[in-house]
Each structure stands twice: as structure tokens, then as C-alpha cells.
């Protein structure tokens, strides 16, 4: 019974903190986000915050919205993406990711804002880069990428995707999710350091007629 009560308190505290985060980002922006502001809005003390999270960045990474985005990126199969021969069709998971960010734009626009802390930008790049790197290694465990220093590969993959997403928000999402997703799909498929080190795509009449 004690454990159950404790779990309920943990859930309640986390909900209060996460809601305070969303309130601050939507009303004041990333510049006003700090532990003091969070605890005041959530109605908790600093000790309670640090009981659940290491810092602000740890909180952001654990939010339901951020986990939701990473879950969308997780099933991206680069092997399928590279074999997609129909040029006017974005990869489905990439489209879903941009639609998700567009739907929750108040949250992601704040995170990708140019005024966001450098540490936050670095950690977001790492999260995105790691997802793509893991997918790449899973699809091609013996490829050129598997013998390269992982941290450098992750940095390269993460910075490219982060830069495109940040620019999209800076342009006030002027391109619809499907169009920006198509751009990213094309960029990934034509990036020499990726395409040149993956198995060549067999151009059959079947995959030309029936794109993935």
C-alpha cells in the first residue's frame, strides 16, 4: 500500500512538472525556462524537481511529446528508404514525424529556436543522430559505417537533421509537413556518404512500379 501511494505521488509530481514545462514554453518561450520558474508554476520545491530529473534537459528528453517523436523515428528503415525509387513520395515515418511536430508546434518550435541553450541543441542533435545511427547499423551491420567512430557518425547525422528542422521552424513552417518530409527523404537518399556505402539498389520494373 505504501508503494502504491508513493507511485501515485511520483506520477502526480511528474505530471505537474511536465505541465509546467509546457505552460512556460507556450506562454513565455525557451528563454524563460529554468528550474526556479518550473517549480513556481508547478507549485513544488526544487528538491522535488531534482528527485525526478537531473536537470531541465533531462526533463525535456523524458516528456511524452519528445518520447513520441523519437518513437516515430525509431522504425525508420534506411534500407527501405534508400530503395524507394518513386521520387515524389516522402518516406512515411518522416512525414509522420513532421506532422507530429507541426501538431505540437508550440513545444518543438521552442526547443528548436535559435535562442535555445547550446546544451539543449547538442542533446537534441545527439538524440536524433543516435536514432538514425542505430537504424543504419541494424540495417547494415557490416557496412562502412559500422567501423567508423560512432560519436562522429552520430554528430554528422544529428546536425544535418537538426539543421533542417530548425530552419523549417525559423521559416514558420512555410512548407507543409509532406513537402519538408519529401525534401529530407531526398537529402538522405542522395547524401554521398550514406548512399555510396550502402548496397546498391536493384532497379527492377517491380520496385519502379510499386514504390515502398
Candidates 1.25.40.420, 1.10.30.50, 1.10.3720.10, 1.10.10.60; correct CATH number of 2-60?
1.10.10.60
Flag whether pLDDT at 208 surpasses 50.
no
Flag whether pLDDT at 118 surpasses 50.
yes
pLDDT at 134 (0 to 100): 80
pLDDT in tens, 43-69: 999 999 999 999 999 999 999 999 999
Confidence category of residue 188, pLDDT binned at 50, 70, 90: confident
Confidence category of residue 25, pLDDT binned at 50, 70, 90: very high
Q: Is the pTM of this model over 0.95?
A: no
* Mean pLDDT of all residues in 186-190: 82
Please write down the HEC assignment for all residues of the chain.
Answer: CHHHHHHHHHHHHHHHHHHHHHHHHHHCCHHHCCHHHHHHHHCCCHHHHHHHCCCHHHHHHHCHHHHHHHHHHCCCCHHHHHHCCCCCCCCHHHHHHHHHHHHCHHHHHHHCCCCCCHHHHHHHHHHHHHHHHHHHHHHCCCCHHHHCCHHHHHHHHHHHHHHHHHHHHHCCCCCCHHHHHHHHHHHHHHCHHHHCCCCCCCCCHHHHHCCC
pLDDT at 149 (0 to 100): 87
pLDDT in tens, 102-111: 999 999 999 9
- Lowest-pLDDT choice from 26-35, 168-177, 184-193: 184-193
Query: How does the average pLDDT of the chain come out, rounded?
Result: 82
* Mean pLDDT of all residues in 17-24: 95
pLDDT at 24 (0 to 100): 95
Q: Where are the domains of the chain?
A: 2-60, 64-199
Amino acid at each position: 500500500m505504501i508503494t502504491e501511494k508513493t507511485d501515485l505521488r511520483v506520477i502526480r509530481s511528474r505530471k505537474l512538472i511536465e505541465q509546467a514545462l509546457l505552460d512556460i514554453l507556450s506562454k513565455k518561450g525557451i528563454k524563460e525556462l529554468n528550474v526556479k520558474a518550473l517549480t513556481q508554476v508547478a507549485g513544488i520545491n526544487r528538491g522535488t524537481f531534482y528527485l525526478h530529473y537531473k536537470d531541465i534537459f533531462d526533463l525535456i528528453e523524458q516528456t511524452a511529446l519528445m518520447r513520441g517523436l523519437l518513437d516515430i523515428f525509431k522504425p525508420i528503415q534506411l534500407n527501405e528508404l534508400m530503395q524507394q525509387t518513386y521520387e515524389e513520395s516522402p518516406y512515411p515515418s518522416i512525414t509522420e514525424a513532421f506532422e507530429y511536430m507541426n501538431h505540437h508546434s508550440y513545444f518543438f518550435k521552442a526547443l528548436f529556436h535559435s535562442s535555445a541553450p547550446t546544451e539543449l541543441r547538442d542533446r537534441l542533435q545527439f538524440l536524433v543522430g543516435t536514432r538514425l545511427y542505430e537504424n543504419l547499423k541494424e540495417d547494415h551491420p557490416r557496412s562502412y559505417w559500422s567501423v567508423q567512430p560512432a560519436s562522429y557518425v552520430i554528430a554528422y547525422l544529428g546536425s544535418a537533421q537538426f539543421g533542417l528542422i530548425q530552419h523549417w521552424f525559423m521559416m514558420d513552417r512555410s512548407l507543409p509537413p509532406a513537402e519538408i518530409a519529401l525534401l529530407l527523404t531526398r537529402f538522405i537518399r542522395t547524401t554521398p556518404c550514406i548512399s555510396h556505402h550502402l548496397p546498391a539498389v536493384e532497379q527492377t520494373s517491380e520496385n519502379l512500379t510499386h514504390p515502398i
